[in-house]
Chains A and B, each alone.
Chain A
């Protein structure tokens, strides 16, 4: 046995040794350490951030989101017009090439849009069902007809999942393309994917903005362990690392070789309330719960002061965030009085907690203490994260903490999910308000930005007054880079602008 295992081992060793030569880092290659490896290179088949962040390096979209995460800017579509009825969109495709040298045509754009709508493996077909037809009226003109007018439609075109893919390359073999795309429309091409280890990207000389790209290449390296990943950057074995734990920020800031990068995200953590359960159906009771929670204390403990207290379901820094929104003061005494008035002074709540999630458990214990000061008894029910979801859907809970990050810059996506009164019961809260329901539907159709903004302000005010849930806090992306790396930036929607990153 020894001999057998050893010979296999030695064979593997020999192979490993021969690889070591390739380990010397090229000068202009940026290494990024992250927790998980990519899962696919077919953009329509993933709904995970780990994939989206690499897709946007490799594929370009018709319309991009800018660095602030609040405005759209031209991508592969040089310009576009919208018909007066809001149903027909005409995009002019810019002169650009795929990495294999073939031109990017309206045909490719139409193919990509219809593919995400119709392909059986697409995880995003719902978002594009609104598209009636998409066709290349000439090689450089894409005409899209919608079933109904839609204000957020343009911003859904910025999702990395609907990137413009080469029709020829995809049709040559979907599975092979998902492994290693042979043509890319973005700043980089995929040179190699060593599964479980790293994704190796190389500058795409045919990218239409190739002049803008300073790096020769990028390596997305998976280092699952948070400690190891941080140590790697501290020792200079990685240029950058993402997903820095809140607890490590202070220490990393003291390291003169490193810059800790804190970029605005769209993550909002909130406390879901089941409006159908007993006293929670009363608005005053929900308001009392909101007042009994000291959000500042949660921000300080859980995010080490790096987050900010949330005052609306639309995160600060996002489009149509209503900054003047009301914030319930922390006042346990008043909360107690309000509960007594509402006849709920013996309120007892069942709190579903994701077991094993450090942050979740921490918040649970804090909330339990805080709510007890207002006379509310909280029973913590720890369950597996995958189980909690089913319990929330079934309504088998009173309160539970969840979070949300936006995929598109338009607030419609989250608003519909959270307040749109559709099949998911307003994100499992069972909140009901005809006024909000009508506003959400109207805001989707309203094409005048000023009027939309006013509608969203009204939605945020009403939802806050009704306490559809308790807004807890917003938290940023935290990444770390060596001092010789410049412009390593992530916009609120998570896109890394690696086309601007410089490694000195």
Chain B
């Protein structure tokens, strides 16, 4: 177990270095010139050249990468080109907003997914099942910005239940979290449904039924705990999905998290921020997967013995 963890940590470290290298090459291979973006249209070639020098962009790519990497290994993400502030400071300031949104999104998808998946499995073949499966299909396929605008229009504009955008109270988080969670909820409902159906056909369930247990007890005590196992692993992977989703959702709802930070940085070709956000996301994904792997044996004894 200890050795496994150590090996996984080593892998995670290599993955992060790899992500850093690939992102770096991609960003600097782009024909975009951050100095030009910063200087504005009216700047002379001389100004642009001096900015380029100031930012170190006139150095060979390999030298730039080495500078970046050695900074990174000391925990230094560099300074934003446009905002002149430590990237780390900017990300830390935005992280609580994004984490709040992600936590709320996960809550939405888990609660909705498990509830509707279970109902559908139990009422398999019935109208309820069909409606749930249909809805989950829509949830999975609808583009996030469409869902966002739809929820915004119905619940904020027409009904006026929630604020349209911004950050700071419980009411603000509801719509963004719904938008973010609805996609995963669709997946989860489908997964829980098929896992439940599987489990409900198992011998031990039949035994439990033969023993005369109530169907509620069978579903909640015996079937569900087994059926939601795959979801635990999924949540780890989902963090990656969410990191992509937050960019769209934060833009629509004006949510001041790292997604919006990245969005603005992309407009300004502010490479250190783009790098920083990418690495933070990669770190979140790697950590999510790692944690899912580590705790899986505690939840599922079968993994422990194998």
| Chain A residues at the B interface, C-beta cutoff of 8 Å | 1-2, 4-6, 8-10, 12-13, 15-17, 19-20, 22-23, 36-37, 39-40, 42, 45-48, 120-121, 123, 125-126, 175, 178-179, 194-197, 221-225, 227-229, 231-232, 234-235, 237, 384, 386-387, 389-390, 404, 407, 413-414, 417, 422-424
Most buried by B among A17, A175, A228, A390: A228
Set A9, A123, A413: member contacting B39, Cβ < 8 A: A123
Q: Please, how many angstroms separate the alpha-carbon atoms of A205 and B242 in the complex?
A: 46
For the complex of A and B, list the 6 residue pairs with the smallest distance between their C-beta atoms, beginning with the closest.
Answer: A9-B103, A20-B169, A386-B32, A47-B40, A196-B256, A197-B256
B31 touches A231 (CB 8 A): no
Contact B84 A1 (CB under 8 A): no
B84 touches A175 (CB 8 A): yes
Taking a contact as CB atoms under 8 Å apart, the answer to whether B39 and A47 are in contact is yes
* Complex Cα–Cα for A8 and B103 (A): 8
Stretch from B127-135, B188-196, B200-208, B263-271 at the A interface:
B263-271
Residues of A within 8 Å of B294, CB to CB, are 1
Of B44, B252, B288, which is within 8 A of A225 by CB? B252
Interface membership of B62, Cβ < 8 A: no
One of B39, B103, B157, B253 near A13 (C-beta < 8 A)? B103
A2–B264 touching, CB < 8 Å:
no
Name 21 interchain pairs, CB-CB below 8 A, sorted by A: A1-B288, A1-B291, A5-B102, A9-B106, A13-B103, A22-B168, A47-B43, A121-B54, A123-B38, A123-B39, A126-B43, A195-B94, A196-B94, A225-B251, A228-B149, A228-B253, A229-B165, A237-B165, A387-B30, A404-B41, A423-B45
Does B254 reach chain A (CB closer than 8 Å)? yes
Question: Cβ of B83 and Cβ of A424 under 8 Å apart?
Answer: no
A8 to chain B, nearest CB (A): 6
Q: How far is the CA of A22 from the CA of B39 in the complex (A)?
A: 37
Residues of A within 8 A of B99 (CB): 8-9, 12
List B residues 247-276 near A (Cβ within 8 Å).
251-254, 256-257, 260-261, 263-264, 267-269
Can you add 16 more A-B contacts, CB < 8 Å, to A197-B254, A235-B160? A1-B236, A1-B294, A8-B99, A8-B103, A9-B99, A16-B100, A37-B260, A40-B84, A228-B149, A228-B252, A231-B156, A237-B164, A390-B31, A413-B42, A423-B44, A424-B44
Pairwise interchain contact B83-A126, C-beta atoms closer than 8 A: no
Q: Which residues of A contact B257 (CB under 8 A)?
A: 196
List, in ascending order, chain A residues with CB within 8 A of B112's CB.
none
In the complex, what's the smallest C-beta–C-beta distance from A33 to chain B, in angstroms? 8
Would B256 and A235 count as touching, CB distance under 8 A? Answer: no
Number of interface residues of B (CB under 8 A): 73
Does B82 reach chain A (CB closer than 8 Å)? yes
- B46 at the A interface (CB under 8 A): yes
Are A235 and B157 interface neighbours, CB within 8 A? yes
- B263, A224: Cβ atoms closer than 8 Å: yes
Contact A16 B170 (CB under 8 A): yes
Is chain B's interface secondary structure helix, strand, loop, or mixed overall?
helix
Given the contacts A123-B43, A126-B43, A12 and B103 also touching, CB distance less than 8 Å: yes
B38 touches A237 (CB 8 A): no
- Chain B hits for A404, CB < 8 A: 41
Q: Considering the complex, give the chain B residue whose CB is closest to the CB of A15.
A: B96
Contacts of B168 in A (CB 8 A): 16, 19-20, 22-23
B104 & A9 in contact (Cβ 8 Å cutoff): yes
Decide: B169 and A19 in contact? CB cutoff 8 A: yes
A16 touches B31 (CB 8 A): no
Cα A179 to Cα B46 in complex, Å, equals: 28
Decide yes or no whether B152 CB sits under 8 A from chain A. Answer: yes
Whether B142 sits at the interface, judged by CB under 8 Å, is no
Tally A-B pairs: CB < 8 A.
Answer: 190
Q: In the complex the two chains form, is A6's CB within 8 Å of B103's CB?
A: yes
Partner of A45, one of B84, B94, B263: B84
Residue in chain A with minimal CB distance to B263? A224
Q: A4-B291, A126-B43, A389-B36 are contacts. A121–B102 as well, Cβ < 8 Å?
A: no
Q: Known contacts A20-B169, A123-B43, A225-B254; is A232 also within 8 Å of B164 by CB?
A: yes
Contact A1 B42, beta carbon cutoff 8 Å: no
Q: Does B235 contact A (CB under 8 A)?
A: yes
- With both beta carbons as reference points, the residue of chain B lying nearest to A391 in the complex is identified as B31
Contact A224 B260 (CB under 8 A): yes
Contact of A16 among B167, B268, B288 (CB under 8 A): B167
Asked if A179 and B165 sit within 8 Å, CB to CB, the answer is no
User: Which residues on the B side are within 8 Å of A22 (C-beta)?
Assistant: 168
Most chain A beta-carbon contacts within 10 A, residue among B38, B104, B168, B235:
B168
Tell me, rounded to whole Å, the shortest Cβ–Cβ distance linking B73 to chain A: 24
Bound CA span A327–B93, Å: 54
Partner of B165, one of A5, A47, A232, A407: A232
Per the bound structure, the CA–CA distance linking A178 and B153 in Å amounts to 38
How many Å from the CB of A116 to the closest CB on chain B? 12
Once the chains are docked, how many angstroms separate the CA of A120 from the CA of B47?
11
A255 to chain B, nearest CB (A): 12
Nearest-CB distance from B211 to chain A (Å)? 31
Q: A39-B82, A232-B164 known; A1 and B292 CB under 8 Å?
A: yes
Nearest Cβ in chain B — how far from A437, in angstroms?
17
B33 at the interface (CB under 8 A from A): yes
Q: Is the CB of A386 within 8 A of B33?
A: yes
Whether a CB of chain A sits under 8 angstroms from the CB of B173 is yes
Q: Is the CB of A390 within 8 A of B169?
A: no
CA distance A12 to B173 in the complex (A): 11
In the assembled complex, how far is the CB of residue B59 from the closest CB belonging to chain A, in whole angstroms? 17
Once bound together, how far apart are the Cα atoms of A4 and B295, in whole Å? 11
B279: interface (CB < 8 Å): no
**Are B103's CB and A197's CB within 8 A?**
no
CB neighbours of B93 from chain A (8 A): 195-196
B90 on the A face (CB < 8 A)? yes
* Bound-complex Cα distance A332 to B48 (A): 41
Q: Is B51 an interface residue (CB 8 A)?
A: yes
A37 engages B84 (CB within 8 Å): no
